């Protein structure tokens, strides 16, 4: 089955710096790659996603890149702010026509943005 590895497990940056979180996946048939942000005491929330027919997607200060050949994708946060501090999860799944799909999550990255 699919396996998603996420690095680093913790990341500390100064406010205003950039943060990069990387994930690799094992199933080459995977074609959907979302990123979720989990703030303290809350459930994860989707912040951005990318599909396999796209190499990069950007939404304001966050961007995601996908390299299907290498089977890895990354989250980039620019101009980090203290409110970006949270746990970030990458995930991967593949569409199934006649069966249900499953979203497999990475292990999570705890991002701390120091003011």
Partner 1 sequence: DTAVSQTPKYLVTQMGNDKSIKCEQNLGHDTMYWYKQDSKKFLKIMFSYNNKELIINETVPNRFSPKSPDKAHLNLHINSLELGDSAVYFCASSPGWQANEKLFFGSGTQLSVL
Nearest to 77 by CA among 31, 106, 112: 112
Residue 78 lies near partner 1 (rule: CB under 8 A):
no
User: Residue 109 CB, nearest distance to partner 1 (Å)?
Assistant: 9
Q: Which residue of 7, 11, 94, 112 would you call a contact of partner 1, by CB under 8 A?
A: 94
Residue 87 lies near partner 1 (rule: CB under 8 A):
yes
Inter-residue contact 47 to 37 (CB < 8 Å): yes
Residue 26 lies near partner 1 (rule: CB under 8 A):
no
Neighbouring residues of 98: CB distance < 8 A, sequence distance ≥ 6: none
Stretch that binds partner 1, among 20-28, 54-62, 66-74, 102-110 (CB under 8 A): 102-110
Rank residues 25 and 89 by Cβ distance to partner 1 and give the closer one.
89
State the CB neighbour count (10 A cutoff) for residue 43. 7
Cα(27)–Cα(2) distance, integer angstroms: 5
Interactions with partner 1, residue window 29-48 (CB under 8 A): 31-32, 34, 36, 38, 41-46
Report residue 91 as tokens.
């995930």
């Amino acid at each position: 089955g699919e396996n998603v590895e996420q690095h680093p497990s913790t990341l500390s940056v100064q406010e205003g710096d950039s943060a990069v979180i990387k994930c690799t996946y094992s199933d080459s048939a995977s074609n959907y790659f979302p990123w979720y942000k989990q703030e303290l005491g809350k459930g994860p929330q989707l912040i951005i996603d990318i599909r396999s027919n796209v190499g990069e997607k950007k939404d304001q200060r966050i961007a995601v890149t996908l390299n299907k050949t290498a089977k890895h994708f990354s989250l980039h946060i620019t101009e980090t702010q203290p409110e970006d501090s949270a746990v970030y999860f990458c995930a991967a799944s593949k569409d199934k026509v006649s069966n249900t799909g499953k979203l497999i999550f990475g292990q999570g990255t705890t991002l701390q943005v120091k003011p």
